[in-house]
Amino acid sequence: MPTTMTWKEMQQAFPNEWLRVVHYELDAVGQLARGEVLYHSSSKEEVYSKPLSGQSEAFWFTGESTFSGLRSHATHHGV
């Protein structure tokens, strides 16, 4: 049975992993604050292929986003 973890605990336990979290709470800037981790894996496919729990879920990644903007990415590739 999942136990409640803080965001910091999730980051430490599951670095650069995808999570699905139930009974979650968000902080003032919309960051996951705490919750119960239902599924976790470095593979997004593995986590997202699990069936829905029927409860409200948070879909989260514990790493930093590499999104740099589509225009800048295209520039790097000479597009």
Partner 1 sequence: MPHITAFDAQKHHVHLTPTVIDGDGVAHVFRAILDTGAPGSEFSDRFLQTIHLFNPAKQHAVTIPDGLQTQKHGTTTLPRLECLGQALEHLTVYVSRFDESWGIDALIGLDFFRKFRVTIDYAAGQIVTEPYGRQ
Collapsed DSSP state (helix, strand, coil) of residue 59: strand
CB of 58 to partner 1, least distance (A): 5
- Residue number with CB closer to partner 1 (3 or 45): 45
Instruction: Return the residue of 4, 13, 15, 73 that touches partner 1, per CB under 8 A.
Output: 73
Applying CB under 8 A, what is the total number of residues that bind partner 1? 33
Q: Which residue, 1 or 28, is less far from partner 1 as judged by CB?
A: 28
Half-sphere exposure of 6 (CA within 13 A, CB side): 4
> Is 39 within 8 Å of 6 (Cβ atoms)?
no
